[in-house]
Structure 1
Amino acid sequence: MYGTFRVDPEDYDPPDQVYFFTLRDWDARLHEREAGGDADYDPVDRSPDTYTINGRSAPTTFHPELGTPLLVSAGDTVHPHISNNGYESHPFHTHGHRFTVTEKDGSPISEAAQHQGGVINIGPAERYSLEFEADADPDIYPAHCHKAHHVTNRGRYPGGMATAIVYEEAMETDEFEEIMDDAGYER
């Protein structure tokens, strides 16, 4: 069991939206072995083939109730907090939005040392807090690990560490309805 625990100071000014992401890479052979299968698993010789955000994989990660999309309204200040609880590094990328890195491993980064980007490499056991403004055209913007095989599960695409920044205004579009159909959401 793993997750995120965060304590904000008394004078904390909360943003409009806060999200917590836990990234994890898995070797499915371990689970097959523990479920009584005959899979050969060696923790020293791991071969991750399944990737998750908050324990779920795309397309379920796009589902507003079951998954982890960043649901925003135009003009929102958004704080995603991302931790890597796996063994591999994960370069996390947001489309259409540049972010500022505000914290590393739970400690604030001084304003002089904060930097902007569209991709941040998150190593094993690292945690980053980001901030961005929802200032793009209201639409659906992918947010995902930038390693191509990390947005697959056991070689199947779409899967893995992929979600999206979804503007409320875009939730009534045909594109969003198609994504929800893929995620198993019935309207």
Structure 2
Amino acid sequence: MSVDICPFHPDNNLPKFQIICIYEELLPSSTRNLEKLVHFGLCACTNIASLTESICGLQYLRKLTLKGSIPEVPKELDRLECLEELNLLSTRIKHLPDSICLLKHLKFLQLKSCWLLEQLPEDVGRLECLEELHLLECMFLRKIPNSICEMKRLKCFHLTDCILVEKLPDEIGRLKCLKELNIERTGISGDLSHMVLHP
């Protein structure tokens, strides 16, 4: 679905966005029961509060992608108890809600081209099941919280084109499962010999 033109309201000049929700099971016979919705789309004319309620009501959702000029992430993300993958692409968000740290089953988190993102939650390390963290082209991001060192299952950490990030947490070597670390085109320099990546 294009994020440039809303097919229902082609003359509006509001920010366009795309929402993709994926779930592997079949829909229930009653279309009024949206708890196991596979895929839905909302146009740019949708109220943000309505968007938040619609998404956070999908309690069995496993994968969520928000793409486009969305100004904020739903604050009650922790209601998505089964979420395993979260992608935020080309959004206008500046901060992530603290509720994201309560996604106990999240394995994959990607923030790409979220140019206005200034910081991650300090307690992001509470994502105890996270295996892949991709921070790509987050131009205003300055700091990686120390709590990331508590992600015992993190295998892949890509920090690419985050030009204002100048250092990694001092205890990054505690990530015993880390196999991939990419810090290309960041402000990070110096000796990384303390990092041991396991094959």
State the TM-score, normalized to the length of structure 2. 0.27
